[in-house]
């Protein structure tokens, strides 16, 4: 077995990625504080062809050296917007027919393996602050809440790790 060379991976150019069809979902970040986490979200949004990455509240935004360090250039390919009020943005998405889903441990949450995305519907996945999670004001606007099953003592994952798990699960269900 040998590792593939970058040239063998058939990666899209930034221009081709920008023009490519995206999966019908947006990633909303609610007051993420870590620059490295924000950069990781850019890479994950690129990997799973998100429509958009929405940076809400005090979430830092490009250009920033620390974001670029972990984004590895994905901040140039992924469509993104900085918004002060995620609540207003969520209401806008709901008017457009999106299902708004918090990624959180909450009463009535759906275990990830039981989540079945509806056909023809866009999704907005909200990821919350590294310590506080998704704010109550946003939870009140959500149509559903997804929870990742965990079996250790912490019942906590890094927020950008959670994004990789949630978004791979979503995309894999859309391509199968």
From CA 49, how far away is CA 18, in angstroms rounded? Answer: 9
Q: How many domains does the chain have?
A: 1
The answer to whether residue 14 is domain-embedded is no
The answer to whether residue 27 is domain-embedded is no
Helix, strand, or coil (residue 126): strand
CA atoms within 13 A on the CB side of 95: 6
pLDDT of residue 174: 93
Q: What is the mean pLDDT of residues 111-118?
A: 97
The answer to whether residue 24 is domain-embedded is no
The answer to whether residue 16 is domain-embedded is no
Chain segment 48-60, per-residue pLDDT in tens = 999 999 999 999 9
Residue-range definition of the domain harbouring residue 73: 32-175
pLDDT of residue 10: 87
CATH code for the domain in which residue 95 is found: 3.40.1280.10
pTM (2 decimals)?
A: 0.96
- pLDDT-derived band at 155 (thresholds 50, 70, 90) equals confident
The answer to whether residue 19 is domain-embedded is no
């Amino acid at each position: 077995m040998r590792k593939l060379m970058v040239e063998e991976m058939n990666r899209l150019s930034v221009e081709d990625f920008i023009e490519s069809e995206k999966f019908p979902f947006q990633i909303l970040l609610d007051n993420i504080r870590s620059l490295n986490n924000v950069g990781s979200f850019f890479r994950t949004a690129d990997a799973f062809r998100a429509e958009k990455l929405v940076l809400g509240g005090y979430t830092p935004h490009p250009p920033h050296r620390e974001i670029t360090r972990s984004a590895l250039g994905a901040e140039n390919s992924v469509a993104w917007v900085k918004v002060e009020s995620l609540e207003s943005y969520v209401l806008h998405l709901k008017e457009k027919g999106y299902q708004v889903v918090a990624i959180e441990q909450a009463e009535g949450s759906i275990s990830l393996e039981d989540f079945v995305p509806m056909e023809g519907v866009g999704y907005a996945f909200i990821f919350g602050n590294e310590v506080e999670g998704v704010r109550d004001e946003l939870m009140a606007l959500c149509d559903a809440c997804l929870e990742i099953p965990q079996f250790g003592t912490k019942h906590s994952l890094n927020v950008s790790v959670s994004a990789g798990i949630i978004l791979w699960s979503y995309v894999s269900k859309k391509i199968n």
